[in-house]
Amino acid sequence: MRLPHFIRANVDSILDEWEKFAQAFKHAEGLDQTALRDHARGILLVICDDLECEQSSSERDEKSKGRAPPMPAETEAAMHGLSRYVEGFDVNESIAEFRALRASVLRLSVDSLALPSVAADDITRFNEAIDQAVAESLARFTDMKERRNRLFEALLSSSPDLNYILETTGAIIYANRAFSDVFQKIPAELIGNDFRSLCKPFVRDIERQLKSVVATRKTHRGEMFTQLDGGEERAYEYLLVPVFNPAGVCEAVAGSARDITERKASEERVRRSANHDFLTELPNRSLFRERLEHEIKHSTRTGLPLGLMFIDLDLFKEVNDRLGHAAGDQMLQEVARRISKCVRDTDTVARLGGDEFTVILTDVTLPDHIESIAAEILDELRRPFELAAGEASISCSIGITVCPGDGITPDELVRNADEAMYASKNAGRNGYQFFTVAMRGVGSGGPV
Ligand SMILES: Nc1nc2c(ncn2[C@@H]2O[C@H](COP(=O)(O)OP(=O)(O)OP(=O)(O)O)[C@@H](O)[C@H]2O)c(=O)[nH]1
């Protein structure tokens, strides 16, 4: 009996035997019998057709050297390679399927005593045909794999994010274009380099995080601010992700980093605009309240008094009326600068709105300190203002209260300073007054 006839007559038994083996593959899980068997049956039948054709001695020679005549585009074996790629098989599993198929055919043909009558030539040709099928299947499989690699490479290369893969020791396995651009290299130059040697400014952090990702097997997320390319400082958010081999061992760490400098700057602008006055860039009313509460607690803790000043420009309306609103704005900006110059960085100058400013003086060790700053502010504001629309002069009225002497809550202190400022206006402007109990209820007393 010829081998092709044996295979055709026993194809189901051969496939039953083969299937027991093929089902054990990790990636065969979830595949039904039809999907698993389809190509195996097809491949066997194609081989049978081939064995049944006469073969010249030169064809036999070529085939035995692995040079079969060119096949049509999609042979059954090539389709097998494509399916196995899509189903997620690995190369070894794919090759093992063919070995098992060969073994099943040969063993069953021996067991059923068909062998003595099977022509030796059929066996040789069968082996060659199986080798040919392996080659076709693998060619298609690797073709797909290479294509996928090419596409992933294109995807990663075109990404503006920095993408890279590291050995667990820190050596670079892969770096995309954005990553290598930052270090002013081409990607190939980076392969094999130790990642830590590129990132000197934060080498300790990276070393610690790399170890931790490998040890904990968990993704690490972080943000860093650095001058990676020696230029201006930039902000990055980054991920370090452990990559596991099929045995579950962490074999590499995949990293990506995104430049978030612009986003951070815009968040900072939003944060500032919520807390700062647009015109003068000083803290606004809400930040002033927050700082005052904070400084009262600080004063209670340290036992050092705190001074609060309310400053209102005198007859500011006349500047607006004479030189225009824009000139008034310019004066308010300059007033903010001049007041800020009179105090320490740790003090707070705020604009509550209109022509009203406040100053929180912290850690007042000498009682005279507040008075001398008030005098300095008065002097500063008395100096003429060179505005775009012309020269202008102004003065201001200042009300002062002290914590804990005059009060210990924000509301009390604000009311006191406001009333003292009104007392100063009433006393003829261009001066300062400390709060006294006698002033209570005389000023505007509005809430701040
Ligand atoms: N240019 C400009 N003017 C403002 C702004 N906010 C408020 N003003 C003006 O500031 C002036 C404040 O006037 P008031 O404080 O009521 O009175 P004043 O003229 O300063 O007089 P006294 O406070 O009584 O000394 C008003 O004319 C407002 O229109 C601003 O952002 N820019």
Q: Which atom of ligand 1 is nearest to the CA of 325?
A: 1
Mean pLDDT is lowest, of 26-30, 175-179, 331-335, 348-352, for 26-30
* Burial track 156-194 (b if 16+ CB lie within 10 A, e otherwise): beeeebbbbbbebebebbbbbbbbbebbeeebeebeeee
Handedness of CA 189, 192, 195, 198 (dihedral sign): negative
Ramachandran angles phi, psi of 24, nearest 5°: -75, -10
Fold agreement (160-263, 276-439): no
Q: Which residues pair with 225 in a beta bridge?
A: 235
Q: What is the pLDDT of residue 113?
A: 57
Tell me: pLDDT of 319 over 90: yes
Contact assessment for residue 173 and residue 252, using Cβ atoms and an 8 Å cutoff: yes
Q: Which atom of ligand 1 is nearest to the CA of 397?
A: 25
Q: Can you say how many angstroms the Cα of residue 75 is from the centroid of all Cα atoms in its chain?
A: 46
Mean pLDDT over 89-109 rounds to 86
Contact assessment for residue 3 and residue 122, using Cβ atoms and an 8 Å cutoff: yes
Query: Under CATH, which architecture does the 276-439 domain have?
Result: 2-Layer Sandwich (3.30)
User: Per the structure block, which two tokens stand in for 156?
Assistant: 């990663």
* Nearest Cα residue to atom 29 of ligand 1: 317
Say how far apart CA 175 and CA 159 lie, in whole Å: 12
Mean pLDDT over 404-419 rounds to 95
What's the CATH code, domain 160-263? Answer: 3.30.450.20
Tell me: pLDDT of 436 over 90: yes
- Ligand 1 geometric centre to CA of 237 (Å): 46
* Nearest Cα residue to atom 27 of ligand 1: 317
Q: What is the pLDDT of residue 72?
A: 61
Closest CA to 163 of 142, 178, 153, 143: 178
Whether this model's ipTM surpasses 0.95 comes out as: yes
Tell me: pLDDT of 61 over 80: no
Calculate the alpha carbon distances from 181 to 174, 188, 233 in Å: 14, 12, 16
4 Cβ inside 6 Å of ligand 1: no
Q: How many CB atoms lie within 10 A of CB 105?
A: 24
Tell me: pLDDT of 143 over 60: yes
Q: Which residues pair with 167 in a beta bridge?
A: 252
Contact assessment for residue 237 and residue 225, using Cβ atoms and an 8 Å cutoff: no
Q: What is the pLDDT of residue 447?
A: 45
- What mean pLDDT value characterizes the chain? 88
Spelled out in words, what is the top-level CATH class assigned to the domain 3-157? mainly alpha
Mutate to test the pocket of ligand 1, among 317, 333, 430 (most ligand atoms within 8 A of CB): 317
Left (φ > 0), alpha (ψ -120 to 50) or beta: where does 403 sit? Answer: beta
Opening angle at CA 158, ends 152 and 159, nearest 5: 90
Q: What is the pLDDT of residue 65?
A: 67
- Ligand 1 geometric centre to CA of 316 (Å): 5
280 Cβ inside 6 Å of ligand 1: no
| HSE-CB for 375 with a 13 A CA cutoff | 5
Where exactly are the structural domains of the chain? 3-157, 160-263, 276-439
Mean pLDDT highest for which of 140-144, 264-268, 360-364? 360-364
Mutate to test the pocket of ligand 1, among 285, 321, 355, 385 (most ligand atoms within 8 A of CB): 355
Say how far apart CA 18 and CA 86 lie, in whole Å: 21
Contact assessment for residue 402 and residue 305, using Cβ atoms and an 8 Å cutoff: yes
Q: Which atom of ligand 1 is nearest to the CA of 328?
A: 1
First-residue to last-residue Cα distance in the chain:
106
* Nearest Cα residue to atom 21 of ligand 1: 315
Q: Which atom of ligand 1 is nearest to the CA of 429?
A: 25
Q: Which pLDDT tens digit goes with each residue over 388-406?
A: 999 999 999 999 999 999 9
Q: How many CB atoms lie within 10 A of CB 10?
A: 19
Paired sense of beta strands 431-434 and 396-403, if any: parallel
Say how far apart CA 307 and CA 373 lie, in whole Å: 11
Q: What is the pLDDT of residue 229?
A: 58
- Ligand 1 geometric centre to CA of 355 (Å): 5
Calculate the alpha carbon distances from 370 to 58, 346, 393 in Å: 110, 14, 24
356 Cβ inside 6 Å of ligand 1: no
Mean pLDDT over 179-199 rounds to 85
Kindly indicate the confidence band of residue 114, based on its pLDDT and cuts at 50, 70 and 90. low
User: Per the structure block, which two tokens stand in for 67?
Assistant: 């040079």
Q: Which amino acid is at 219?
A: T
Q: Which residues pair with 226 in a beta bridge?
A: 234
Task: Identify the H or E element spanning 280.
Answer: none
- Ligand 1 geometric centre to CA of 379 (Å): 20
pTM: 0.58
User: Per the structure block, which two tokens stand in for 128?
Assistant: 């060659």
355 Cβ inside 6 Å of ligand 1: yes
Torsion of CA 265, 271, 272, 275, to 10 degrees: 180
Q: What is the pLDDT of residue 308?
A: 97
- Ligand 1 geometric centre to CA of 442 (Å): 21
Mean pLDDT over 49-60 rounds to 80
